[in-house]
Amino acid sequence: MTVLVVVIDSNNFLVKGILKKLIKYAKPSIWSYEEMLSRSKKDNTSKKVFYLTPAGDKILVSKVKKLIKDNRLKVINSLDLQLFDKPQFDEIFARNNINYPDSILTKSSAEAVDFISKHETAIIKLRNDCGGSGHFIVNDRYAYSSGGKKYFLNFLDGCFTERREIFRKNLFVSPPFYIQKFIIPDNHSVWRAYIVGSEVKFFSTRKRDFYENLGDYIINVAKGAKYYFPDGDHEVEKLCDKFAKSINLEIGAIDFIFHKGVPYFLEVNCEGVWFLICRKFYESPYYNSKKHNLDKFITEHLGEFDKKA
């Protein structure tokens, strides 16, 4: 089966990088969105689609998804996973009996306040964003940002745009509110399993050098964390492999933490539509090109389809 790569933003530097490696290792068919539209269904039936759209043009992406469904094309990664919606991940974890932090999605400020009071400390997240963007660790009075600042927490009703507004010493949050129970991770580390071919290829952890206030537990490279490469846990590796296969995650990443030795899954990052997997780990002094070359693993996996055809 030939791999079809639909390129929507070929000027993006991330796309240029992956395309260069795709051509080197996999030799896929590379079409623009317009080319895909112009081809007949007969041209598409023998291909499997892996498409790159990091610019996030949602209208164009929706057209690509419709085209894929209308033509019944086989897709690398299920379309449902590519929505990148955190409450949806919670539902997927629950269906697969995976531990995850207790969470709530609500439009009611009263329910939001009750949830925080129940858990004493929680984390407010934007449901469709990543990289720690829009995250605040909160208690019943204060919100702490990853930048070390503390604000008075205010929930708003009636404005359904999921906004975060800071005015003086106040954080104003509008619904819908997506809130998770805050769990301090073992060793202050967030783990990531890198999935290619629905199997774990390697693990990374992200960790900050210091933890002076609650906001420092928003652990992301964009917020000052650093990458490390542990050997990983064999039982968790088997769990990730099984989970990836069950949800048709062919190429992507699974974020999780350990708390008192128990793994808790946080979210699934799906390579392709939003190009979500951070490549900053390449800059880590602990990076090993033989063990941690994600793009090589991806392109070699894509190349396997032509060998099987």
* Beta carbons within 8 Å of 137's beta carbon, 6+ residues apart: 121, 122, 123, 124, 143, 144, 182, 214, 215, 217, 218
pLDDT digits (tens, 9 = 90+) for 267-289: 888 776 555 688 889 999 999 99
d(CA 306, CA 205): 34
pLDDT digits (tens, 9 = 90+) for 219-250: 888 778 899 999 988 999 999 999 999 888 88
Binned at pLDDT 50, 70 and 90, residue 57 comes out as: low
pLDDT digits (tens, 9 = 90+) for 88-97: 889 889 999 9
d(CA 14, CA 32): 16
Q: Is residue 303 part of a domain?
A: no
**Mean pLDDT across the chain, nearest whole number?**
83
Burial of residue 82, with CB atoms counted within 10 A of its CB: 0-12 exposed, 13-18 middle, 19 or more buried: buried
Same domain, 132 and 150: yes
The pLDDT of residue 56: 54
The closest of 8, 119, 142 to 63, measured between CA atoms, is 8
Same domain, 94 and 107: no
Per the structure, the complete domain to which residue 46 belongs is given by 2-77
Same domain, 257 and 280: yes
* Beta carbons within 8 Å of 197's beta carbon, 6+ residues apart: 250, 251, 301, 304
151: helix, strand or coil = strand
pLDDT digits (tens, 9 = 90+) for 182-201: 999 999 999 999 999 999 99
Which whole-number Å values give the CA distances from 62 to 14, 53, 215, in the listed order?
Answer: 21, 11, 35
The pLDDT of residue 299: 81
Same domain, 129 and 174: yes
Give, in degrees to the nearest 5, the angle at Cα 22 between 226 and 5.
Answer: 105
Number of domains in the chain: 3
User: Which has more pLDDT, 38 or 224?
Assistant: 224
The pLDDT of residue 200: 97
pTM of the model: 0.86
Judged by average pLDDT, the poorest of 4-18, 149-163, 291-305 is 4-18
H/E element, 47: strand 47-49
Residue 70, pLDDT > 90, answer no
Percent of the chain surpassing pLDDT 90: 43
Same domain, 245 and 137: no
